[in-house]
Amino acid sequence: MAWFTKTKVSEPSQKKTLGEGVFRRCDTCGATLKAEEFEANLEVCPGCGHHYRLSAEAWIELLLDPGSWVEHDAGLQATDPLGFVDSKPYRQRLEASRKKTGHQDALLAGDGTLNGRPIQLGVFLFRFMGGSMGSVVGEKITRLFERGLEKNQPVVLLSASGGARMQEGALSLMQMAKTVAALGRLRDAGLPFISVLLHPTTGGVAASYALLGDVNIAEPRALIGFAGPRVIEQTIRQKLPEGFQRAEFLLEHGMVDRIAHRHEMRATIARLLSHFLD
């Protein structure tokens, strides 16, 4: 290869390295802004308001009073009862997700205070196997509802999930009934459950507890539903309406009670809890 060819090949790589991590381009409006502007705005595009995914840890910091978070059941770990293997063994997927996230499974659950009010809080980790609900996630959600009942506290649960975890087969599907049964006991005691639907909330999570909140709140443009739009279109062989399964469509059709901008989420939940409990 000639010397001038080598020089031309290396220049784009150098430019990419120099700019990497400094700027971000919004996929919705096309605006290119400093990465720190997205971060300072809670991962919401300052230009068009598109909501990008916020980490579970950042949600806890956003919603709870400083220093009040106490995590529960952090040590629960999934096993591999089916010896499941697809392109790689399930055990390897679990280990890789644990290393990547620093957590044992796809849900953080604990208690804290919001404006001084004690609550039970759960937040999905979408970066852990797409927030899929297996036996550990189902157990942690069940215990979250049970602690709410035991401590006479409301439960707030933020969902972001691709649905049931296929690597656990029927055991993952059992978590749908298990979580709904625990929620039923909380409801019988007259304690409120605020369900927050993030992007995406789908599959077995959407088909179980997630749409059973006393109030269902969604973020703007969040994808919410059981099967994906492409699967539905292929099944019914019809074109779906514009915006089908987006938060705005569900609000219009009565499946969601409110859409809240991320900057308004803490105040919205606080007002709802005051309405139920004061």
Q: Do the beta carbons of residue 99 and residue 73 sit within 8 Å? A: no
Give per-residue pLDDT as tens, 146-203.
Answer: 999 999 999 999 999 999 999 999 999 999 999 999 999 999 999 999 999 999 999 9
Q: Is the peptide bond before 200 cis (omega within 30 degrees of 0)?
A: yes
Domain positions in the chain: 1-52, 55-277
DSSP one-letter string for the chain: --HHHHHHHHHHHHHHHHHTTTEEE-TTT--EEEHHHHHHTTTB-TTT--BPPPPHHHHHHHHSPTT--EEESTT-----TT--BSSSBHHHHHHHHHHHHSSSSSEEEEEEEETTEEEEEEEE-TTTGGG-B-HHHHHHHHHHHHHHHHHT--EEEEEEE--B-GGGTHHHHHHHHHHHHHHHHHHHTT--EEEEEEEEEEHHHHTTTTT--SEEEE-TT-BEESS-HHHHHHHHTSPPPTTTTBHHHHHHTTS-SEE--GGGHHHHHHHHHHHHH-
Q: What angle do CA 195, 201, 202 make, to 5 degrees?
A: 130
Structure tokens at 230: 């492409």
- The mean pLDDT of the chain is 92
For residues 127-139, average pLDDT: 98
Candidates 3.40.50.150, 3.30.1280.10, 3.30.70.20, 3.90.226.10; correct CATH number of 55-277? 3.90.226.10
Q: So what's the pLDDT on residue 14?
A: 41
pTM: 0.90
pLDDT at 15: 41
d(CA 226, CA 30): 30
pLDDT digits (tens, 9 = 90+) for 203-252: 999 999 999 999 999 999 999 999 888 889 999 999 999 889 999 999 99
